[in-house]
Amino acid sequence: MRYLPKSPADRKAMLEAIGVRSVDDLFAAIPAEYRLNRDLNIPRQMAESEIVDFFRQRSRENGEDYTSFLGAGVYFHYRPVIIDSLISRGEFLTAYTPYQAEISQGTLQSIFEFQTMICELTGMEVANASMYDGSTAAAEAVMMAVRLTGRRSVVVARSLHPEYREVLATYATHQGMPLAIADFANDGRLNLAELEKSITPETACLIIQSPNFFGTIEDVAAIAEIAHKHGAMLVVSIAEMVSLGIVEPPRQADIIAMEAQSFGVPMGFGGPYCGVIATREKYVRQMPGRLVGQTVDKQGRRGFVLTLATREQHIRRERATSNICTNQALIALMVNIFMTVYGKVGLKELAKQNLAKTAYAAAQFAKFGKVLFAAAPRFNEFVVQTSEDPSAINSRLLGHKMIGGLPLKKFYPELGHAALWCCTELTTRTAIDTAAGLVAESERSVRASRDEDVAEVAR
């Protein structure tokens, strides 16, 4: 086996040194009746070339050359080449969690920089080293608010990503945390009057997303005021980090739970991604996940260590803030490099291009279909309502090697024939025009057949 660095002679010499006759003697502790006395029923060893062929074939079956208008929590942005060059260095790729600080300063310093940049972008005071993803970060942020307030119930915005809501519901089930839902208004933003009514003296926090699932930017300041008036915390989920280049961060929030996939992480059919939690300094001891802190060595030189570990499972066991151990360090490094490449000016320009493409696309779609929630500001997503079922339109788009917006019927049936469309800096005007043209065609043919029906009835 090509990954194993021993010759038969090595194995023989080692067995002799140990003082056993065969390797099976080393497995004697396993009761004979349970030992597997056959080969596992899996395919034979494959050559590297065969493995590459296998996955190239899977890639071809996986829509590798389609133009996509999908967003909904996963965004297709350009990934600078140096991200993969740098994260492929074995010293990053094949290192463990930096528990031995003296030989992990590379990982530790890069996490410290990551935490700093997340704070700069979100307006928060502290950020952790990462969580699994945006959905679990949101659930953990809510549990953190429950611990901090000593209250148990939670108000969840219906415009929070539907799958994040599902994850939160799973986490909440056995924590005795009742969840109430706050609906959105006609402009796609949270209905503030209804929101206030849903808060009770038992409400630990309110969790919203901004830009929300529809791409609409919430009035965070007003929402925070309502939450705080009732002694509840505000947790804001951010699924599209590129928005922070041009959209004010939710500074009024108490906890921000993010999905940083947008920042240089491949879409990868859903993962691995990079969740992050950021908050105020005074709440740090209730924050889950690893934290890197600055300190000095015996000679007074600057260095970095994992710190405040008394929050964590390996010290605190059943009284830990979370059971999280392994996080998403390598993905956080991708995010870190992405943020460094674009930096203070590039992130803003990048976000502006997203804004411009989306404004253009929404205008094109509005000519024939109906763009919902047009009155409120949005970032790079918008909802288009059509006369025809968007799934049918999407089937025709597939013929043009295009993936249309996400049909919303499954998550928001009351929106009818609606789909969530997304444009990034990578969406070309030509693609937008083609897609908008096909939607227009659909509208024209539906209208034409309606006119025929009307004419039929008139006759």
Partner 1 sequence: MKSTIRKATPQVNQNEGLIFEKSSPGKAAWKLPPLDVPEVDAAKLLGEAERKDLGNMPEVSEIEIIRHFTRLSTWNYAIDLGMYPLGSCTMKYNPRVNEAVARVEGIANGHPYQPEKISQGALYIIKTLSEQLIEITGMDAITLQPAAGAHGEMTGLLMVRAYHQSKGNARKKILIPDSAHGTNPATAAMVNYAVENLKSDSRGMVDFAALAAQMNEDVAALMLTNPNTLGVFEQDIHKIADILHAKGGLLYMDGANMNALVGKVRPGDFGVDVMHLNLHKTFSTPHGGGGPGSGPVAIKKALEPFLPTPVVITKPDGTLAFNYDRPQSVGRVRAFYGNFGMFVRALAYIQANGPDGLRQTTEDAVLNANYIRKGLMGSYDLPYSTPTMHEVVFSDRLQMKKGVRTMDIAKRLIDYGFHPYTTAFPLIVPGALMIEPTESESKEEMDLFIDAMKSIAEEVEEDPQTVLNAPHSTRVSRLDETAAARKPVLRWKPAS
Task: Pick the closer one to partner 1 by CB: 88 or 150.
Answer: 88
Distance in Å, CB of 456 to partner 1, minimum = 35
CA atoms within 13 A on the CB side of 94: 4
Q: 10 Å Cβ neighbour count for 302? A: 10
In DSSP terms, 184 is beta-bridged to: 190
Distance in Å, CB of 446 to partner 1, minimum = 22
Distance in Å, CB of 459 to partner 1, minimum = 41
Calpha distance 384→362 (Å, rounded): 8
Calpha distance 53→375 (Å, rounded): 50
Task: Pick the closer one to partner 1 by CB: 35 or 447.
Answer: 35
- Shortest CA distance to 435 belongs to which of 6, 68, 9? 68
- Shortest CA distance to 371 belongs to which of 357, 380, 360, 382? 382
Calpha distance 397→278 (Å, rounded): 40
Task: Pick the closer one to partner 1 by CB: 71 or 369.
Answer: 71
Distance in Å, CB of 192 to partner 1, minimum = 16
Distance in Å, CB of 447 to partner 1, minimum = 26
Distance in Å, CB of 455 to partner 1, minimum = 36
Q: Which residue has the tokens 């992990």?
A: 104
Calpha distance 273→265 (Å, rounded): 7
Q: What are phi and psi of 278, to 5 degrees?
A: -130, 150
Task: Pick the closer one to partner 1 by CB: 392 or 448.
Answer: 392
Calpha distance 304→283 (Å, rounded): 21
Task: Pick the closer one to partner 1 by CB: 90 or 201.
Answer: 90
Distance in Å, CB of 352 to partner 1, minimum = 6
Task: Pick the closer one to partner 1 by CB: 188 or 249.
Answer: 249
* Structural tokens at position 22: 């065969």
Task: Pick the closer one to partner 1 by CB: 117 or 226.
Answer: 117
Task: Pick the closer one to partner 1 by CB: 369 or 404.
Answer: 404
Q: 10 Å Cβ neighbour count for 294? A: 12
Q: Is 163 strand, coil or helix?
A: helix
Distance in Å, CB of 336 to partner 1, minimum = 9
Q: 10 Å Cβ neighbour count for 270? A: 11
The DSSP bridge pattern shows strands 233-238 and 255-259 to be parallel
